[in-house]
Amino acid sequence: MAAQSEAREARPDPNEKLVKVFETEEESEALVVKGLLDSAGIDSDLMSGSLVQDTFPGLGGMVILARQGDEEEARRIIAESRQSGVSDEGPSAGDDDSTAELPTLE
CA distance 18 to 78: 17
Residue 56's nearest CA partner among 27, 15, 95 is: 27
pLDDT in tens, 45-92: 998 866 555 555 556 688 999 999 999 999 999 999 888 864 444 444
The separation between CA 81 and the C-alpha centre of its own chain, rounded to angstroms, equals 11
Name all domains of the chain by residue range, CATH numbers in brackets.
Answer: 15-83 (3.30.70.790)
Q: What is the pLDDT of residue 94?
A: 47
Per-residue HEC secondary structure of 2-68 comes to: HHHHHHHHHCCCCCCCEEEEEEECCHHHHHHHHHHHHHCCCCEEEEECCCCCCCCCCCCCEEEEEEH
